[in-house]
Amino acid sequence: MHDDVDELIRRRTQVEIPAVVEDRLRGRLMDFRARVEQRPPSRLRSFVYSVLAPPVLRPAAMAVIALAIVAVGLILIPPQSRVSQVYAAAAAELKSARSLQYTVVLNSDPYVGVDFSYLAPGYRRLETSWGIEVRTDGATGKQIVLMHGIHAYLNETGKTVENQGNIDDFSAQLRTLPDKADETLGEQWTGQRKLIGYRLHEAPPNGSIPGLKNLDIWIDSATREADHVDITVQENGKPEHQMHIQNIRVGAGVDRSLFDLTPPSGYSAFVVPGAKSSTNPATGIEVSAAIGQTAEMTAVVMPMSGSYAQAATALGAVSDSLQKQGVTPTGPPLGRFWSEQHWQAGYPVPPGTQAEAPFEVVTLPAGPNASAVVNGVWGRDTEARWGAFLKSVVEQGCVPVGPAIEIWSGEDGKPETQSTEMRIPVAKAK
Amino acid sequence: MTERQQEYERLIAPIEDRMMRTVWRILRDPDDADDAFQEALLTVWKRWDRIVAHPNPHALLLQICIHSAHDVLRRRLRHGRRLDAVAVPENIPDQAASAIQTISGAEQDAAVLRAIGNLPKNQARAILLHTVEEVPYHAIAAAMNCREATVRKHVARARTKLRVLLSHLIPAVPKEERTHA
C-alpha cells in the first residue's frame, strides 16, 4: 500500500556525495574528533545518563540525582573551586586550540578608529564592527587578516601608528594565559548564557601587549569556552584605553579556500629549511653566500613554535630577562629556525650566563658556515632570499648541515640602519 | 588509547560516511550541507555524555544529522530559494533522451526534497530514518525518545502527506485523492 511512496523517496534520495563535499565534511569531522579527544572525561554525567536511560527508573533516578547534585554542589564543593575550574578549562582550551578566530575592537578615545569598507575579491566579510578580524591557523602558523590595510589605521595625536604588532600580540596573549586568574569578577548574563569574569593583572610572558593593565576574560560557564576579552592598557605617559576581543571561536574549521597560495607576479616559492613545499628556484633575487669559519657563540634563547611574527615578542621577553640578571648581550638579536614548529629567538651572551625556564642557554658551535648580509628591512622576500642564498651555497659545493640562522642588526623604525645576516652551518658536499 | 578516543571509535567512526551521506541526501548543496553538518556536530558535542550512554547511539546520531539537515532545508524553503537550481546538473550530456531523463530525474529529486521540507519535524525525521536510513522502529523510538507506536504514527502520517504532495510522481494515486492536494 505505502510501498509506492517509500520507493519514490528511497529512489530520489539515493545519491552519492560528491568528493569535494565529502572532503569538506571530513575536515569538519577531523576537527570534531580532535576536540572530542581533548575533552576531559565526565564520569558523573555519563553515569547520570546511563541511569536515566531505562524509562521506568527515570522519575526516581532523576529525583535522587537532583538531590545528590544539590548536596554536592552546595555542601561539598567550595564555590571558588568550581569557578576556577571554568577558567582553567577555558585557558587550557585556548592554549591547545588548533585555530583561533576573533574580532578585535578598539575604543575611539583616544584613538580614532576607521571603518574599513574595502573587501578584497574572494574574501567574505564576517562579523566585524569596526577594526579588524584576524583568523589564525595555529597548526600551520598562517594568519589571515580579512580587512585590507592592517597598517596605519590608527591615528594617535596626528601620528600614524602601525598595528601589526598588536594583532600578533592578541593571538599570543590568548594562547599564554596562566593557569589561575588573579581575581574573579562575578557573573554576567547574555541572553540565556551565564558568563563568569576573571581578571589578570599582568601580561603573560609570551603575549605581551605593551602597557597591559588588566585583562578581563569572560567565559561561558556551561561550555567553558572564552566568550570575549576586555583589555585595559595604560602605557607610560599615555591615557588609559581599552581593546576588546570578541566573537572568540576556538578550534573552528578554517576555510582553506580563503587562502591563496599562489605567489604574486614576480615571486616564486623556494625550499627553505623545515619548509614543507618545494617549487621553482629563484629568478629575481640574488644572494651570494660566503663560506667561512665562525667562532663558537653562546646565546640565551626562548624556544618557540608557531608564527614567526612572534619573534619580536620573544626577543622582548629574553631582553627583559637578561636585563633583570644584569647581563648585557654581546651582539644583535638572532633567530634559529628548524621549522615553523621549532625555532628559537634570543641574544648572544657571554659564556657562563645562566637562564631559567622558559629561557635556555644554547651554544652555536664553531665551524664552517655560509653567510650573507642583506641590508635594509627584512621583509616579505624572506623565502626568496633564503632560496637564493641556499642555491649559492649548493653552487659552491656545500650542503647545509644545521638550522638557518638570522642575525638582525639596526634600529627599529630606521630601515637605513637595518641589516640581516643569513647564516647556516655547512659541510662539503660528498 | 584514551577513553575519549575509544568512545569516538565506538560511536562515530563506524558511521562517519553514513552521517555525511545523510546530510547530503537531504540538502544537495555544499554550503548548506556544511552548515547542517556543523550544527549536527555541535549538537553531538553538547550531548556527548548522553550519546555515550544511549542504548542506540547510532540511531541517535543519524537522527541528529537528519534533524539539522531538515532544519536547514526548511529554512531554505522559507527563504524561497529554489531547490530545482541545485538539483539540476550543470553539464548534461548532449544526447536528447538521456538529457531529458536527467532533467526529469533532477526535477523529481527537487520535488521530493521540497515535499520532505514541508513535513512537520517529527514526521520528516521518522520517515527519513525509517525509509531512507532503514533504521528499525524500536531504534527510532529510542532516538526520538518516544514510544514505538508514536513513531509508526509519524511515519504513517508522513506517508499520507507525501502521497498527496507527490501525487504527480505516483501514477497509482487515485484522482480523488489528488484533487484534495
What is the number of residues in chain A? 430
Distance from CA of B24 to the nearest CA of A (A): 6
Q: Which chain A positions have a beta carbon within 8 Å of B110's beta carbon?
A: none
Taking only the tens place, the pLDDT of each residue in A324-342 is 889 999 999 999 987 777 7
- A182 and A330 share one domain: no
Per residue in A21-52, is it b (16+ CB within 10 Å) or e — as a string? bbebbeebbebbbbbbeebeeeeeebebbbbb
8 A C-beta contact, residue A373 and residue A423? no
Question: Is A8 in Cβ contact with B24 (below 8 Å)?
Answer: no
The CATH number of the domain where A411 resides is what? 3.20.80.10
Question: Is B52 in Cβ contact with A33 (below 8 Å)?
Answer: no
- Residue among B25, B53, B127 whose CB faces A50 most closely: B53
Residues of chain A with pLDDT under 50: 108-134, 138, 141-168, 206, 269-283
Q: Which chain A positions have a beta carbon within 8 Å of B124's beta carbon?
A: none
- A294 and A338 share one domain: yes
Interface test mutation site (partner A, options B12, B20, B154, max chain A beta carbons within 10 A): B20
Decide: residue A218, CB within 10 A, 0-12 exposed, 13-18 middle, 19+ buried: buried
pLDDT of residue B106: 74
- A152 and A119 share one domain: yes
Distance in angstroms (rounded) separating the CA atoms of residues A30 and A23: 10
The CATH number of the domain where A153 resides is what? 2.50.20
Count CB-CB contacts under 10 A for residue A96. 14
Angle formed by the axes of helices B57-78 and B30-46, nearest 10°: 140
- A196 and A311 share one domain: no
A194: in domain: yes
Tell me whether A19 touches chain B (CB under 8 Å): no
Domain region containing A53: 38-77
ipTM: 0.81
Q: Using the 3D structure, point to which of A77, A106, A125 is the last residue of a domain.
A: A77
Q: Which chain A positions have a beta carbon within 8 Å of B112's beta carbon?
A: 8-9, 12-13
Distance in angstroms (rounded) separating the CA atoms of residues A131 and A302: 31
Nearest to A28 by CA among B72, B33, B133: B33
Tell me whether A8 touches chain B (CB under 8 Å): yes
Q: Which chain B positions have a beta carbon within 8 Å of A42's beta carbon?
A: 49
A274: in domain: no
Q: Residue A399: how many CA atoms within 13 Å on its side-chain side?
A: 4
- A192 and A207 share one domain: yes
Count CB-CB contacts under 10 A for residue B4. 18
Distance in angstroms (rounded) separating the CA atoms of residues A130 and A117: 9
Q: Which chain B positions have a beta carbon within 8 Å of A12's beta carbon?
A: 108-109, 112-113
C-alpha angle A206-A212-A214 in degrees, rounded to nearest 5: 110
Distance in angstroms (rounded) separating the CA atoms of residues A85 and A83: 5
pLDDT of residue A299: 94
Checking DSSP bridges between strand A398-400 and strand A154-156, what pairing results, if any? Answer: unpaired
Instruction: Count how many pairs of residues, chain A against chain B, have C-beta atoms within 8 Å.
Output: 113
Q: Which chain B positions have a beta carbon within 8 Å of A249's beta carbon?
A: none
Instruction: Give the 3-state secondary structure of residue A65.
Output: helix
Distance in angstroms (rounded) separating the CA atoms of residues A55 and A71: 24
Interface test mutation site (partner A, options B12, B48, B54, B150, max chain A beta carbons within 10 A): B48
Q: Which chain A positions have a beta carbon within 8 Å of B8's beta carbon?
A: 33, 36-37
Question: Is A33 in Cβ contact with B48 (below 8 Å)?
Answer: no
- A379 and A251 share one domain: no
- A73 and A88 share one domain: no
Distance from CA of A17 to the nearest CA of B (A): 6
pTM of the model: 0.38
Q: Using the 3D structure, point to which of A77, A100, A132 is the last residue of a domain.
A: A77
Question: Is B20 in Cβ contact with A25 (below 8 Å)?
Answer: yes
* Number of domain units in chain A: 3
Question: Is B25 in Cβ contact with A13 (below 8 Å)?
Answer: yes
- E strand or H helix at B78: helix B57-78
Q: How far apart are the first and last CA of chain A?
A: 81
Q: What is the pLDDT along chain B (181 residues), one digit of tens a residue?
A: 677 888 888 889 999 999 999 999 888 888 889 999 999 999 998 888 888 888 889 999 999 999 999 999 888 887 765 554 444 444 444 444 455 555 566 777 888 888 888 899 899 999 999 988 889 999 999 888 889 999 999 999 999 998 888 887 776 544 444 444 3
A14: in domain: no
- A234 and A369 share one domain: no
8 A C-beta contact, residue A404 and residue A364? no
- Residue among B53, B108, B166 whose CB faces A49 most closely: B53
- A218 and A364 share one domain: no
Question: Is A37 in Cβ contact with B4 (below 8 Å)?
Answer: yes
Question: Is B12 in Cβ contact with A29 (below 8 Å)?
Answer: yes
- A304 and A252 share one domain: no
C-alpha angle B85-B86-B90 in degrees, rounded to nearest 5: 80
- A70 and A124 share one domain: no
Q: Which chain A positions have a beta carbon within 8 Å of B7's beta carbon?
A: 36
- A132 and A59 share one domain: no
- Residue among A9, A21, A33 whose CB faces B24 most closely: A21
Q: Residue B104: which residues within 8 A CB-CB, separation 6 or more?
A: none
Question: Is A37 in Cβ contact with B49 (below 8 Å)?
Answer: no
Question: Is A49 in Cβ contact with B54 (below 8 Å)?
Answer: yes
pLDDT of residue A419: 86
What type of residue is B145?
N
A101: in domain: yes
pLDDT of residue A78: 55
Distance from CA of A131 to the nearest CA of B (A): 27
8 A C-beta contact, residue A274 and residue A304? no
